[in-house]
């Protein structure tokens, strides 16, 4: 169920984003203005994020991105083997979304390819952001971006996006209640796309790898993307890890109180791991163990209450 939810969440994100991108690319090739825009593409991905979190996050914990899964594995005790299953499911969700979008747009994609061949620019356009393959896999615009700048563009955007995600998941962040977290995260994705999609941006390894594998399925090895493929697929992982460290060191205040609205959210997130209740301490919840018992809200409240009583008795 959890892996299915992760795959479906990425499917939502990719399906709506690629559909809008297809309208943009094909509209430009066929000289049909008004089919899409960068603004519309940003909104499409943002709505995909909203649907993914709203429909699937309660089932899987709502990673929908390998860099988030890796960060949870390193910093929050997420089981490594389960993380591998999540990442495979995420990539599969992107691949399935790509296959559906391709088939839904196939007539116009083929027509676009024929038009490019007639114009004599097929070879120089197909594997660029303006070519049909660019609907699915990410490529650098020829002559418009260098690899170091592409790295910088990807790293900075993924770092800022990860800070937003980490803040949305912070149970002491009273400015972002759980009900607002999906909208905040979706807006961060849209902002990055609006501002930096033209110089080339990925933001999600599953979206990049899954869609690139599909492009390889249709157009062969030429769709691999060269050196930029590694930047698009991997840079968001170290950027996310660095953002998590920066947030925990400079933005987390251990004296802040966990807001009541976050208790249920904490419980849903924690239930995707396994927690024991040691016999010697019925109120203790160990987030690093792999027992089969899951915590309840009562356990969190009881532990919080006892902690407060202990402080009062000391005073």
Q: What is the pTM of this model?
A: 0.83
* Residue 201: both structure tokens together: 């941006």
E strand segments, 205-270: none
**C-alpha pair distances (Å), 254 with each of 62, 174, 180, 268:** 25, 13, 22, 22
Answer whether 212's CB lies under 8 Å from 224's CB.
yes
Answer whether 69's CB lies under 8 Å from 83's CB.
yes
Give the fold, CATH level 3, of 1-263.
Glycerol uptake facilitator protein (1.20.1080)
Q: Round to whole Å and give the CA distance between 116 and 121.
A: 5
Q: How far is CA 276 from the centre of its chain?
A: 30
Q: Round to whole Å and give the CA distance between 235 and 237.
A: 5
Q: Round to whole Å and give the CA distance between 234 and 204.
A: 9
pLDDT in tens, the chain (315 residues): 999 999 999 999 999 999 999 999 999 999 987 788 999 999 999 999 999 999 999 899 999 999 999 999 999 899 999 999 999 999 999 999 999 999 999 999 999 999 999 999 999 999 999 999 999 999 998 887 899 999 999 999 999 999 999 999 898 888 888 889 999 999 999 999 999 998 889 999 999 999 999 999 999 999 999 999 999 999 999 999 999 999 999 998 877 778 777 777 777 667 766 544 555 554 544 444 444 444 444 444 444 454 444 444 343
Q: Round to whole Å and give the CA distance between 20 and 210.
A: 18
Contacts with 273 (C-beta within 8 Å, 6 or more apart), sequence order: 77, 78, 79, 287, 290
Sorted by where each begins, the domain ranges of the chain are 1-263
């Amino acid at each position: 169920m959890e892996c299915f939810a992760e795959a479906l969440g990425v499917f939502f994100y990719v399906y709506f984003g690629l559909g809008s991108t297809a309208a943009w690319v094909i509209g430009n090739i066929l000289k049909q203005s008004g089919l899409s825009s960068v603004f519309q593409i940003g909104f499409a991905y943002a709505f995909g994020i909203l649907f993914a979190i709203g429909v699937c996050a309660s089932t899987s914990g709502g990673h929908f991105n390998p860099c988030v899964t890796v960060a949870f594995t390193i910093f929050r005790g997420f089981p490594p083997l389960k993380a591998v299953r999540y990442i495979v499911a995420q990539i599969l969700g992107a691949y399935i979304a790509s296959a559906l979008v391709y088939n839904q747009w196939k007539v116009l994609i083929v027509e676009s390819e024929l038009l490019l061949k007639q114009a004599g620019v097929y070879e120089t356009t197909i594997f660029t952001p303006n070519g049909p393959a660019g609907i699915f896999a990410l490529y650098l615009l020829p002559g418009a971006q260098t690899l170091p700048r592409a790295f910088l563009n990807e790293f900075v955007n993924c770092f800022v996006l990860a800070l937003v995600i980490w803040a949305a998941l912070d149970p002491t962040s009273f400015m972002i209640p759980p009900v607002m977290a999906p909208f905040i995260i979706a807006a961060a994705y849209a902002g990055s796309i609006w501002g930096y999609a033209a110089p080339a941006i990925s933001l999600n390894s599953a979206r990049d790898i899954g869609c690139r594998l599909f492009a390889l399925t249709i157009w062969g090895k030429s769709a691999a993307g060269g050196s930029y493929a590694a930047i698009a697929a991997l840079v968001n992982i170290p950027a996310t890890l660095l953002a998590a460290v920066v947030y925990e060191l400079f933005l987390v205040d251990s004296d802040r109180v966990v807001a009541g609205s976050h208790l249920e959210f904490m419980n849903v997130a924690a239930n995707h791991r396994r927690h024991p209740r040691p016999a010697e301490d019925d109120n203790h919840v160990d987030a690093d163990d792999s027992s089969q018992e899951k915590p309840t809200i009562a356990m969190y409240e009881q532990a919080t209450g006892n902690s407060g009583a202990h402080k009062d008795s000391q005073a």
